[in-house]
């Protein structure tokens, strides 16, 4: 008799217990999400507060927009870039073979052939 009562209680309580455990898991996941969002909000508030500082605004205008104060001169340095090397020649060869009208595996095979013929540095 006692066993039958325990079986009935187990059958009745099992779905409720499973639902409770699932809801607790959902609640903990949502609490973690809220904590992450609060951290993100704090970061955004710090970024917004930085814009209240005139020195920060001036620095951002100089860096992002290339503004200068009255009386200052702005210079733009144009770097011609590094001298072409044999590596760039092999890259150009690979690009030229890839630009031909071939299938993807043809392009792959062509680039492997170019790489296979490249000499190691110092030879």
Q: What is the 3-state secondary structure (H, E, C) of 1-49?
A: CHHHHHHHHHHHHHHHHHHHHHHHHHHHHHHHHHHHHHHHHHHHHHHHH
What mean pLDDT value characterizes the chain?
A: 82
Q: Is 4 among the domain residues?
A: no
Query: How many distinct structural domains can be found in the chain?
Result: 2
Q: What is the mean pLDDT of residues 93-119?
A: 67
pLDDT for res 41 = 97
Rounded Cα distance, 97 and 114, in Å: 9
Same domain membership, residue 64 and residue 31: yes
Residue keyed to tokens 């690979």: 94
Task: Check: pTM over 0.85? Answer yes or no.
Answer: no
- Return the closest-CA partner of residue 72 out of 55, 58, 93, 82: 58
Same domain membership, residue 93 and residue 65: no
- Structural domain including 99 reads 86-116
Rounded Cα distance, 9 and 68, in Å: 79
Same domain membership, residue 91 and residue 63: no
Q: Is 122 among the domain residues?
A: no
Rounded Cα distance, 93 and 57, in Å: 47
The token pair at 88 is: 């760039």
Express each pLDDT in 41-79 by its tens digit.
999 999 999 999 999 999 999 888 888 889 998 888 787
């Amino acid at each position: 008799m006692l066993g039958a009562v325990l079986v009935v209680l187990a059958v009745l309580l099992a779905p409720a217990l499973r639902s409770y455990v699932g809801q607790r898991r959902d609640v903990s996941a949502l609490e973690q999400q809220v904590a992450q969002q609060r951290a993100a909000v704090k970061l955004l508030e710090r970024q917004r507060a930085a814009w209240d500082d005139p020195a920060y605004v001036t620095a951002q205008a100089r860096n992002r927009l290339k503004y200068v104060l009255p009386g200052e001169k702005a210079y733009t340095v144009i770097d011609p870039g590094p001298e072409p090397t044999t590596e760039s020649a092999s890259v150009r060869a690979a690009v030229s073979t890839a630009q031909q009208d071939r299938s993807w595996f043809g392009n792959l095979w062509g680039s492997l052939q170019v790489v296979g013929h490249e000499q190691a540095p110092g030879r």
